[in-house]
Amino acid sequence: VLRQGPLQPGGYLVLGSFRNIILGRRSDDSDSDSDYLFEDVTAVEIRAAVVHGPSRYAVGVRRRFWLRHDGASEIFPRDIHSEQLNRRRHRHEVRRWLETELCPQ
């Protein structure tokens, strides 16, 4: 799911619950014919790309989680840290994220 927009200095963007992030709009509609259920998801990766006006390159960050559905659903991080993608070798990967989601002309 793509969420975008400028942020004010010190601002933040609320993404919602993990269920909302994974299912998107379908999480609000119980009668929706979705391709999968929340309980079918076993792993999720959350990615963000930041473009700062004066900088030539975007900076990315990602964090991976795994889900367990034994009665109640639980989510666990794969690592305690988010992976920062700010090095030269990561530039192409972050750029691909942006081009895939934004489809620039």
The number of domains in the chain is 1
Residue 27's pLDDT is 52
Domain that holds residue 85: 37-102
Q: Is residue 70 part of a domain?
A: yes
Q: Is residue 50 part of a domain?
A: yes
Instruction: Give residue-wise pLDDT tens across range 55-65.
Output: 888 899 999 99
Query: How distant, in Å, are the alpha carbons of 2, 24, 67, 83 from that of 45?
Result: 13, 14, 11, 11
Residue 21's pLDDT is 83
Q: Is residue 13 part of a domain?
A: no
Q: Is residue 58 part of a domain?
A: yes
Q: Is residue 26 part of a domain?
A: no
Q: Is residue 4 part of a domain?
A: no
Q: Between the ranges 5-19, 32-46, 85-99, where is the mean pLDDT highest?
A: 85-99
**pLDDT bracket for residue 74 (50, 70, 90):** very high
Exposed, middle or buried: residue 60 (CB in 10 Å: 0-12, 13-18, 19+)?
A: buried
Q: Is residue 82 part of a domain?
A: yes
Instruction: Give residue-wise pLDDT tens across range 24-61.
Output: 765 555 555 557 788 889 999 999 988 887 888 889 99
